[in-house]
Chain A
Amino acid sequence: MNNTSTVKHGLTLRQKEAATGVAFIALPLLSLLVFMYYPIIRSFFISLYEWNLLQKPTFNGVNNYKTLFADKVFLTSLWNTCRWVITYVPMSVVTSFLLALLLDQKLKGAGFFRTLYYLPVVAPIVVVALLWVWIYNTDYGILNFILEKLFHIKPIGWLTDARFSLFAIAVMSVWKWAGYNMLIFLAALQGIDDSIYEAAELDGVTPWTKLFYIKIPLVMPSIYFVMLTAVIDAFQMFTEIFIMTKGGPGYSTYTVSYYLWSCAFEYSKMGYACAMAAVMFVIILVVTLIQNKVMDRRVQYDM
């Protein structure tokens, strides 16, 4: 559409096009402003108030933030998020990457196995959580029975012992999400140009060299993507906790999201919960920016 011959005709077409464009995005944009950007701004304002929904909000300045950083439960939630990242992320990335490597070979029935591995991903999280509550049951759970039979391990309170609870949920999450991350890695592996492998084979490289010097570096952006998503999800984990442990035992499985929900909807501390959301927002933003920086450098380095 680069005809400038008939100016008048062109103008009306252009105007029509612009009007249609605005009409097409009007409702989505309105919805974005009302349900996304306005709440973000309002959340920051609410965080400056003390508000229990029954009385009028009272201005509180930055007191909510001061209280927050002295709040043991909040700090524990942050610490739990770190523990989660240290346990879950390596387990998840390694498992999913190995699965992707396995299925990247030209195996018969790879499609069937891919589907099978993806089954836990589509299962509703409530269903998965209830299933694992049953599997992890201290007295009647199948896991403790198997461990006792095979290794003579005394029954472990997977969800009732603070030493194991977070780890137990992490294992369940690896089971639930491995298929998803595997697909992302698989797409990256299959995107590697065959000519690279051919050149490598001419040079007679070993499979290990191929793995560490071709596959892993070229899949690195996807690995970063998966890690970043996992870190962000760690802050936002809610349903698993709600169903399986309610944050317990003690505060061993409190996540920032779960504590936020509890403050807002169990104790009606709206201002306080919004302050928590703001801190979480900033942390996630920083993580995203750092990760983007690192990723940019990696990608350029690889090119």
Chain B
Amino acid sequence: MVQGKGHKFISYFLVTVVAAFVILPFVWMVASAFKSQRELFAYPPTFLPTVWKWQNFTEAASRGSISFVHMFLNSMKIAIPTTVFNIIFSSMAGYAFARLRFKFRDTIFMLFIASMMVPYAITLIPRFLMFRTLGFYDTYVPLILPAMFGTAFSIFLTRQFFMTLPKELEEAAIVDGCSHFRIWWQIFLPLTKPIIATLAVFQFQGAYNDFLGPVIYIASDSKFTVQMGLNSFRNSFTSRYDLIMAGSILALIPVVILFIVCQKYIVRGIVMGGVKG
């Protein structure tokens, strides 16, 4: 094998070039967000703003139909309950599928697995009609409820993990008359922290980034989520790319922070999800 210095050098060069391609659009976003309107449309364009206009951010945060803080809180009202309950219910179900014996267990588990292949479009309209009939249009219920009691992917992942744990773990506890609820809560759940962190990040991100759901179910401005608010902001300030980019950065900051803090869990989640295919 030729593993010379030249080979390594080329690799580093390529890795850096790719990094530049990845990062430049973001840099352009930040640069545009700080420019004055006149500089934004100047020809030839300047790369970095000559004057850094911080007011763009305060304007972007306040000039929409609802303030950015308000939108962010709305998004949290959806993302937090979805994430917390989803994890609790999914992990309980995962425990049952991995460890408890009951009738039709494997058939029911197959029902969950099969549901992962169903395109969302087919459930979209009946779900909408159902929630509309029940009077939940323009509320967060349709955005929280369907994912709240566990989702196939989360159940699948926790089950797979529980299956790898040794049987001896709960045997002694069962002999001592410990209930399965306590075994799950006190023995299994603490061991699954990495999986739970992974699921939490994914679920939270999914809820925060969701656009189609709010577009279909939310009508009042005061209930807009961040993604929806950003879109409506863009519709009211069509060519104010300075403000649109500033708003985009505000929307981006929470997920970037989450990503940096929980990076290793995200990587693990993809590897687990990808391997199943």
Q: Which residues of B contact A131 (CB under 8 A)?
A: 25-26, 28-29, 245, 248
Selected from B90, B97, B100, the residue in CB contact (under 8 A) with A20 is B100
Q: Which residues of chain A come closer than 8 Å to B184, judged between CB atoms?
A: 24
Chain A residues, Cβ within 8 Å of B157: none
Shortest beta-carbon distance from B6 to chain A in Å: 13
Q: Is B190 an interface residue (CB 8 A)?
A: no
Q: Which residue of B lies closest to A180 (CB)?
A: B270
A225-B125 CB under 8 A given contacts A13-B174, A239-B212:
no
In whole Å, how far is A11's beta carbon from the nearest beta carbon of chain B? Answer: 13
Total of A-B residue pairs, C-beta within 8 Å: 263
**B18 touching A124 by the CB < 8 A rule?**
no
Q: How large is the interface on B (under 10, 10 to 19, 20 to 34, 35 or more residues)?
A: 35 or more
Question: Judging by beta carbons under 8 Å apart, are A274 and B125 in contact?
Answer: yes
Are A20 and B96 CB-contacts (below 8 A) given A1-B171, A122-B255?
Answer: yes
Min CB distance B113 to A, Å, is 11
With contacts A13-B174, A130-B234, A273-B125 known, is A20 near B179, CB below 8 A?
Answer: yes
- Residues of A that sit less than 8 Å from B by CB: 1, 13-14, 16-22, 24-25, 27-32, 35-40, 42-43, 46, 99, 102-103, 105, 107, 113-120, 122-127, 130-132, 134-135, 137, 140, 142, 145, 175, 179-180, 183-184, 187-188, 201, 207, 221-222, 224-225, 228-229, 232, 235-236, 238-239, 242-243, 256-257, 260-261, 264-265, 270, 273-274, 276-278, 280-281, 284-285, 288
Query: Which B residues form the contact surface with A (CB < 8 A)?
Result: 1-2, 8, 11-12, 14-15, 18-19, 21-23, 25-26, 28-29, 32, 40-41, 43-45, 89-90, 92-93, 95-97, 100-103, 105, 108, 111-112, 115, 117-130, 145-146, 148-150, 152, 155, 167, 171, 174, 179-181, 184, 205, 208-209, 211-212, 215-216, 226-227, 230-231, 234, 241, 244-245, 248, 251-252, 255-256, 258-259, 263, 266-267, 270-271, 274-275, 277
Instruction: List 15 additional A-B contacts (Cβ < 8 Å) besides A274-B125, A280-B122.
Output: A17-B101, A20-B96, A24-B93, A35-B123, A35-B127, A39-B122, A122-B258, A126-B231, A127-B248, A135-B25, A175-B25, A184-B274, A243-B231, A277-B124, A284-B119
